[in-house]
Amino acid sequence: MRTQVAIIGGGPSGLLLSQLLHQKGIDTVVLERKTKDYVLGRIRAGILETGFVDLMREAGVSDRMDKECFVHDGTVISFGDTEFSINFKDLTGSHVVVYGQTEVTRDLYDAREAMDGKIVFNTDNVTIHGADTDTPFVTYTTDGAEHRIDCDYIAGCDGFHGVSRQTIPLTVRREYEKLYPFGWLGVLSETPPVHEELIYACSDRGFALCSMRNENLSRYYIQCSLSDSPEDWTDAAFWTELKRRIPAKYAEKLVTGPSIEKSIAPLRSFVTEPMRWGRLFLCGDAAHIVPPTGAKGLNTAASDIHYLYNGLVQFYEEADREGIDRYSEKALARIWKAERFSWSTTNLLHRFPYQNEFDLKMQRADIDFLRDNREAQSVFAQNYVGLPY
């Protein structure tokens, strides 16, 4: 098989890249390790920056998103029973939208199938060959048979545990990582959201987040120990602890119900450099991870896709390599800013086991400064709605 761009990974970043390139007449093949149903069954966050929304529109897959998404002009931050709002629209002229990652992926699959795009599911033993040569190719097996794709370029959109990053030699690749001493216990419930905006809560008992997927589907999180498992938390225990961490006026009107999904996610900050090796480009979680506090995971993947897509179009339409040659440089410049925001917001709102009384006073002073200072809120809002590409 021959294609112009081989894309490893059939999640939202790989699918978005394939759809954008298709709009420009550039041929792609997408390889996915799991089944379509498995990919669509994954529960992920769904806060989309303006840049991501614009990419969906450019890719021609925004109709359902534009009709069903929730537009959020701000967010609420609380410390105990004290709360304040940060108005994104007033401070930046922009906003974010809430539209689940599963729905984004579903829309992209529908578009891929409508254009009869090539997706190969259930791929095993995916191996990248000759990425540092002018003749790269990818081999994989399905149903016990080996296949080969010859291509011009390879986009590694296969996540943190995928083959793409590991293909870059350790003599070239450098990794930066910070592990956090806690996780997030998340519960999905068929209940109305407690508030029209997200609530980020810092309390003496730890962090909590009140979020939503739609008007009858809510997503709530609490900071928990890494030694916990979801089975340690009954629904009743979760709701009780959540109410203790959010302002009383929200706790009193919180609608509870059975959890339909419950999981614990560890938190880490991670970046690998460079994001390009020869004709292999890393995108999304294959190159970087952020703690979810700043709502940047899917959005940082989208910024990678923006730079790679435009670089490939520049090459194929104008025979100009500037975009692909500078891909890693451009992508990393924005990624590190997103990493900083996610790291700083995590430090601002969580309880750390090593904090002493002085540390806690400083944390409260940081929150109070954000509450009282419009310029500080402007910086927060600029980062939350998404820095420009």
Sequential DSSP letters for 225-278 = -TT--GGG--HHHHHHHHHHHS-HHHHHH-----EEEEEEEEEEEEEEE-SEET
CA 224: distance to chain centroid?
21
According to the CATH classification, is domain 181-266+351-385 in 3.30.9.10?
Answer: yes
Specify the higher pLDDT residue, 35 or 349: 349
Q: How confident is the model at residue 85 (pLDDT cuts 50, 70, 90)?
A: very high
CATH of domain 5-73+96-177+268-346: 3.50.50.60
Q: Where in the chain is the domain with CATH 3.30.9.10?
A: 181-266+351-385
With 80 as the cut, is the pLDDT of residue 43 above it?
no
Structure token digits, residue 249 = 């006026």
With 70 as the cut, is the pLDDT of residue 279 above it?
yes
Nearby residues of 363 by Cβ (< 8 Å), 6 or more positions away: 202, 347, 348, 355
Q: Which of 72, 95, 195, 350 is catalytic?
A: 72
Q: What is the dihedral of CA 168, 169, 175, 181, to 10 degrees?
A: 90
At residue 46, the pLDDT reads 84
What is the pLDDT averaged over residues 219-225? Answer: 97
Q: How confident is the model at residue 314 (pLDDT cuts 50, 70, 90)?
A: very high
CA separation, residue 61 to residues 109, 214, 300, 306 (Å): 10, 19, 19, 15
With 80 as the cut, is the pLDDT of residue 45 above it?
no
Nearby residues of 116 by Cβ (< 8 Å), 6 or more positions away: none
pLDDT in tens, 122-147: 999 999 999 999 999 999 999 889 99
Q: Which of 12, 247, 291, 292 is catalytic?
A: 292
User: How do beta strands 47-48 and 96-98 pair?
Assistant: antiparallel
Is residue 99 part of the annotated active site? The answer reads no
Q: Which of 195, 288, 296, 306 is catalytic?
A: 296
Q: Tell me the sheet residues that pair with 28.
A: 5
The type of residue at 72 is: H
What is the pLDDT averaged over residues 21-46? Answer: 88
With 80 as the cut, is the pLDDT of residue 44 above it?
no
What is the pLDDT averaged over residues 178-196? Answer: 96
Q: How confident is the model at residue 215 (pLDDT cuts 50, 70, 90)?
A: confident
**Residue 362 in 3-state DSSP?**
helix
Torsion region of 269: left, alpha or beta (phi above 0 gives left; psi -120 to 50 gives alpha): beta
With 80 as the cut, is the pLDDT of residue 106 above it?
yes
Nearby residues of 282 by Cβ (< 8 Å), 6 or more positions away: 156, 164, 165, 168, 272, 275, 276, 304
Percent share of the chain, pLDDT over 90: 92
Q: How confident is the model at residue 40 (pLDDT cuts 50, 70, 90)?
A: confident
Q: Which of 200, 220, 221, 250 is catalytic?
A: 200
CA separation, residue 261 to residues 28, 41, 203, 230, 258 (Å): 34, 11, 25, 10, 9
Is residue 296 part of the annotated active site? The answer reads yes
Q: Where in the chain is the domain with CATH 3.50.50.60?
A: 5-73+96-177+268-346
**Residue 72 in 3-state DSSP?**
strand
CA separation, residue 5 to residues 128, 155, 234 (Å): 13, 7, 47
pLDDT in tens, 245-268: 999 999 999 999 999 999 999 999
At residue 36, the pLDDT reads 84
Is residue 292 part of the annotated active site? The answer reads yes
Q: What is the dihedral of CA 276, 282, 283, 285, to 10 degrees?
A: -130
